[in-house]
Structure 1
Amino acid sequence: MTSRDDDRFRVRPGPPKSPRTGQPGGGQRFVSRVLREASKAGVKPSQTARAGGRSAAKLGRGHVAAQTAGRRLGPGARRVVIKARYVVLKQAGARSVETHLRYIEREGVDRDGGKGHAYGPTTDHADLADFEQRGRGDRHQFRFIVSPEDAQQLEDLRGYTRHLMTRMEGDLGTSLDWVAVDHWNTDNPHTHVVLRGRDQTGQDLVIARDYIATGMRQRACELATEWLGPRTEREIREGLLREVEQERWTSLDRGLQQQARDGVVDLTTADSDAARSPRTLLIGRLQRLTDMGLSQTDGMNRWRLRPDIEPTLRAMGERGDIVRTMQRALGSQQREMAVFTPGDGAQPVVGRVVGKGLADELQERGYLVLDGIDGRAHYVALPAGTELEQFPAGAVVEARGSAEARAVDKTIAGLAEGGLYRTDHHLALLRAQPGRGDPQETVAAHVRRLEALRRAGLAERVTEGVWRVPADLPERARHHDAQRLTSGSVTLQSHLPVERQTRVIGSTWLDRQLIAGAVGVADKGFGGELRETLRQRSDFLIERGLAERHGTRVVLARNLLGTLRQRDLDAAARGVAGETGLPYRPAVEGERVSGVYRRNVLLASGRFAMLDDGLGFSLVPWKPVIEKRLGQRMTAIVRGSTVTWELGRQRGLTI
């Protein structure tokens, strides 16, 4: 190397380039994406991606602890189930944390059937509102359900949880900010733990995937074993003996599946652990599976398992859980039970709410138990994200299956000529038939539907006012709606129990049943009670001059629902006017009503939104979507009991 100055040089590497684009920084962005995805918790260690020679499962706190946890556990170790959920708060929504915290501290979950009590690392009375406030700036949150198999024997479930979280702090190398609530309302007492996604330095708390998948559970098993001691051979055998007859997926079934070769289990020379799965128990289980049609004998000491044995047994276990849930909700009432299954041909179910809860507490998927008007009890799974608070006990609810073909789709297909639907042609037809509502608004409703179908790839806008649609549009659109509403739709028909509807001024669900003739109402169960309340409602309407009795028939007044709704609105408007000092400005049929959405009012006739235009207020039918726009100015067009909302100033943005 020469000492001349002009021979000296300094290496100045440029930014890395993407091998695909050749642009600087591309490689770094790729690594960043890998690291970001790897930080997400809850994936099994086997599901790893390689980035720069490092396993994604090893990224984050707790990886080393995950490799060492559970080494001291023997075959008699206590078992603990832990379910984990990683929640990105921005995606979950502003109310996600508040709703979850309110749910875990709800009524009926403590030992005495009372309200749950939140606690933390050092307090028995944690302030959930303060916890939610502290975590508002967090990127994510961890939610755990810790369920020791022998929770009843632990007695101090609160102390157990605190010890577990302390061990987690040691494994993760940071203090943790968490709250928990113990639930004793199920056959398996368990604890809900909500952990903030920040470490003690205020940085994002990233936990290694393998710690979430196995390390935390191993720590929980170690702690339970220390507190209660290992299970004795007698306890292990009794547990397995109970599994022999159970109609669910058990550890015996898992062992049989592992021993099977090409679907055949051969117990002639079975090498099973005598302490955990004695040969006699395996034979007993196989005989039970044969009775259930899930296996068949294939020679001496040989059985052939059905290929779908695991999903079938898991489904049977879930159905057994549903039956027990319904029995608890019904109490001493005897009903034929049914599970509502949305799908083509599913008949609507109408009934009152006698039970509700979460079928999946971690994913917050709810369910309702309905005492149906058909005399049966129905279990209805709610669509994801549905809040249970909107279905109070005693409320009347309707569940429907897959969507039927919409009338608007049939109209569009019927008016299309050569596969083209034209708004001017539709408008001319409507104007030639006076008395059928506002033609402009009717066509606008069809255009809104076409816009939705265009986004789904089922229609094409050729030019302004001209749309290309397939000949079988109604069926395609129905299929699209059915896929979008895989859990069906559940609608609140009335928040009032039927006994409270008998003597109220307002357009009630009972009135609609009277007009429809109470079709499909059984003589037993809730159906029998409904027939009696309909008689009482008829008597009340006769007293108020809104119906007449002619022999055994009751003749209802014309426009009964409109009259009752208007009286209900007038009474509510007087109350709001007294509170606010603003005059009431009734909405005019077919005209636009504008104002700032101030609040909603719950009446016997339904829920209504209060719009304040500065000079007075109006009450118009409410829809769930407008609740996010509280305090904003909106416009509505009211026609009877229906409403079209125009949100913001965007053209055509209506609901």
Structure 2
Amino acid sequence: MANDDDFLPRLGRQNARGSKGERRYIGKVLAAANLARGGAAKARGKSGFSGSRIGRGGGIGRMLASRGGMGGSHRRRVVVKASIVRLTGKGAAAAAAHLRYLQRDGTTREGERGALNGRDADAVDGNAFLENGKADRHQFRFIVSPEDGDRYEDLKPLTRRLMAQMEKDLGTPLDWVAVDHFNTAHPHTHIVVRGKDAAGKDLVIARDYLTHGIRERAADLVELDLGPRSDREIADGLRAEIGQQRLTSIDRALLAEAGPEREVAARSPYALHQSIRAGRLAQLTRMDLAEHLGGDRYRLSLDLEGVLHRMGERGDVIRTMQREFTRLKIERAAADQVIYEPAAEGARPLVGRVLSRGLADEFEDRHYLIIDGTDGRSHYVAIGKAGQGLASGADNTGSLAGSIVRVEPLRATIRDVDRTIAAIAAANDGHYEVDLHLRHDPNASQTFAETHVRRLEAMRRESGLVERELSGRWTISADHLDRVATWQQTRLRDRPVALEVLARDPLGELVEMEAATWIDRDLTSDAAEPARGAGFGQELSDARDRRRQWLLAQGFAEDSQGRTVFADGMMDALRRRELLRVSNGMEEELGRPYREARQGERIEGVYRRSLDLVSGKHALIERSRDFTLVPWRPALEKQVGKSVSGLMRADGINWTIGRGRGGPGIP
């Protein structure tokens, strides 16, 4: 177009080009828009390119976002959280676990198990949905939470209308399932959408649509159902925020207008707003989060936002604990409800029985446990993302309720292995590999050097902070240790604690069990946690006394001058009793006899599976004429059905893959 008037609008179908390739109306409009955007971008000194415009729905998303919440505070609000989850590697298994967890018990209005629903049915097959999407590169997950969701008896019709509107906006049918949750103060819907369009191609949704478009579409639908918010509703909502110990919409408005000096005024041209602001600023002053400067002027605290955010989280935790105690019909005084802080100075390990497990953040898939501790108090423990922080026996999918666990706080520390890698790389032009390691330290073994490679592999997979060349050599940056510290700190957000399952059996069943139980390890340890108070602490104290009497009767201990002395080899003897009992039941199943593994013996055979025994997790090794049970190691699980070899030692086995002895070791 030569000038602004150089086009003629025409009615009819708005194709970009005619049959002869000439530009038509919509093409000229887009060209004009692009030209205008380009000129504005040049004026700003920017290219104007944004990755947010890539994908379906970008234009609609920008249009909806530009409304700026049309209707102001009268508009119905809907919170929408969106994420894109890759399904490669372990992603498919994690997606299946996520879908199972969304359908867990206690999420419906009646407290029953949640049910997947879809476009045309109130009950759909989750396995079929996963099977159809098993080859997908990714999937989308949404949480849609209307502010007035409690006014809906059923959220499914709203979800179906929203998904139908999304299909129109994105220009393709969508394959999706949803679950309604009524187990929180704000009813909400989880929606999982396959990452394929109707043509079977990867579905790419523009960021503008994910961040703004879906929310605005949902708000439109809710407003059609419930009408705009009345002045009374708005006023009541704001007044309720005045005394809250969390970050509120009033605080966000005050922070937005506070200058470098963080000064704000209570005054407003509207009587209601002035009353609300004055009341909130007075409350913040009482909380030492604001300073009254005189008149209607206040100075906001520098850490106001962070403190209020933490206070809000703490309030949510307390309400969660109280809700769980009510559900379990357990009475706990407020003083006996504790939030476990693994990052606190002097934080100690926690031992106790799991009362319940739940989602602390459904969007981020972060979980919590409520643990009845040996100190007689109940502890809320954030354990991070699913699959993180779970040590021996703490599988991700099984229920932990009733299990006895040990929680260990983790620290973001730089290990000796990291310092060794940095030192070797500094001496070899920023490179690391096993051969360089062995030349650098002649006393190091091949197996020891390979532990450093596994450390680098973990960093590469999780963060990409290190690079591996095609030759297998690693490129290590000069600031490697700083990168390690950053990586470790990031990992703590997903895995703040290490969790070990000590026993799945009730305490009462462990008292007379012929096995090396957790209570035995506890009795013979100088670092055993003291048991006191009520609840689990009192039960553990009683169980210790009863187990001690059983060990005396069995000849594993004796009284000596008022104290119990345990026999040498007691734990090995108890462990052997359990292995013989378990193996007797397996001989008929496997069709071959059991033979005990002796210290110093080389174990060679095929690893079949693991067994969770009271004495600990063991590996079933099948040989040509017999089978044996030996201590299990996590790395061994990847070798199911493969030949393994290892030397039986007092502290376990150093495994080797294959029948030869030259393969890589599994320490």
Give the structure-2-normalised TM-score.
Answer: 0.77
1:505 equivalent to 2:477? Answer: no
**Contact 1:256–1:265 at 8 Å: present in 2 too?**
no
Contact 2:267 2:296 in 1 (8 A): no
**Aligned mate of 1:580, from 590, 603, 606:** 590
What's 1:533 paired with? Answer: 543
Aligned partner of 1:416 in structure 2 is none
Change (3 A) 1:547 1:499: same
Counterpart check, 1:394 vs 2:402: yes
What RMSD in Å do the two structures reach over aligned CA positions? 3.6
Query: Which runs of no fewer than 5 residues in structure 2 stay unpaired?
Result: 1-40, 389-394, 421-426, 428-435, 461-480
Give the equivalent residue in structure 1 for 2:60. 65
Matching of residue 488 in structure 1 with residue 497 in structure 2? yes
Task: State the one-letter code of the partner of 2:588.
Answer: G
User: For the Cα contact (< 8 Å) 2:195–2:204, is it kept in 1?
Assistant: yes
Range moving further from structure 2, 521-530 or 191-200 = 521-530
State the shift of 1:227 in Å: 1.2
Shift of 1:562: 0.8
Q: What residue in structure 1 maps to residue 187 of structure 2?
A: 189
Partner Cα separation in structure 2 for residue 268 and residue 122 of structure 1: 52
Amino acid at match of 1:356: R
- The residue type paired with residue 332 of structure 1 is E
Q: Does residue 258 of the first structure (1) align with residue 270 of the second (2)?
A: no
Relative to structure 1, the CA distance from residue 303 to residue 355 in structure 2 (aligned partners, 3 Å threshold; closer, same or farther) is: same
Deviation by residue 1:136-176 (Cα, 9 ceiling, x = unmatched)? 11011001111111111111112211111111111111111
Q: Distance in 1 between matches of 2:156 and 2:273?
A: 36
For residue 545 of structure 1, what is the aligned residue in structure 2? 555
Partner of 2:392: none
Secondary structure of 1:389's aligned partner = coil
How does 1:296-375 map onto structure 2 within 5 Å?
296-330=291-325, 331-334=330-333, 335-342=336-343, 345-375=346-376
Q: Which moved more, 1:72-81 or 1:132-141?
A: 72-81
> In structure 2, what residue type is equivalent to 1:506?
A
Contact kept in structure 2, 1:338 and 1:376, CA below 8 Å = no
Q: Is the 8 A contact 1:391 1:495 kept in 2?
A: no
- Residue 666 of structure 2 corresponds to 654
Cα distance between partner residues in 2 of 1:68 and 1:365: 34
What is the CA distance between 1:482 and its match in structure 2? 6.6
1:95 aligned counterpart, secondary structure: helix
Q: For residues 406-446 of structure 1, what are the alpha-carbon distances to aligned partners after superposition, in whole Å with 9 as ceiling and x for unaligned?
A: 9999xx9xxxxxx99999x999xxxxxxxxxxxxxx97775
Q: 1:243 to 1:551 in 2, by over 3 A?
A: same
Q: Compute the displacement of 1:557 (Å).
A: 2.8
* Alignment pair present for 1:285 and 2:280: yes
**What letter corresponds to residue 338 of structure 1 in structure 2?**
I
Contact 2:438–2:445, Cα closer than 8 Å, also in 1: no
Superposition deviation, residue 84 in structure 1: 0.9
1:329-478 matches, cutoff 5 A: 329-330=324-325, 331-334=330-333, 335-342=336-343, 345-384=346-385, 385-386=387-388, 388-389=396-397, 392-402=400-410
Q: Report if aligned partners of 1:78, 1:230 keep a CA contact under 8 Å in 2.
A: yes
- After TM superposition, give the deviation of residue 447 of structure 1 in Å: 5.2
Could you say what secondary structure the match of 2:294 adopts? Answer: coil
Partner of 1:468: none
User: What is the alpha-carbon distance in structure 1 between the residues aligned to residue 277 and residue 663 of structure 2?
Assistant: 68
Number of equivalences: 565
CA distance in structure 2 between the partners assigned to 1:239 and 1:591 by the alignment: 73
Q: Is the 8 A contact 1:336 1:376 kept in 2?
A: yes
- Cα separation, 1, equivalents of 2:116 and 2:288: 46
| Alignment correspondent of 2:79 | 81
Name the aligned partner's letter for residue 300 of structure 1. G
Taking structure 1 as the reference length, the TM-score comes to 0.78
Whole-angstrom distance in 2 between the partners of 1:51 and 1:198? 34
Aligned to 1:3: none
Distance 1:234 1:607 in 2: 62
Q: What SS does the corresponding residue of 1:598 show, helix, strand or coil?
A: strand
Contact 1:357/1:366 (<8 A) preserved: yes
Q: SS state of the match for residue 541, structure 2?
A: helix
| Aligned-partner Cα distance in 2 for 1:69–1:354 | 46
Contiguous gaps of at least 5 residues in structure 1: 1-45, 413-418, 428-441, 458-474
Q: Which residue of 1 aligns with 2:26?
A: none
Q: Secondary structure at the match of 1:322?
A: helix
Partner of 1:157: 155
**Structure 1 residue 599 and structure 2 residue 600: aligned?**
no
Q: Percent identity?
A: 39
In structure 1, distance between residues paired with 2:405 and 2:309: 29
- CA distance change for structure 1 residues 162 and 543 in 2, over 3 Å: closer, same or farther? farther
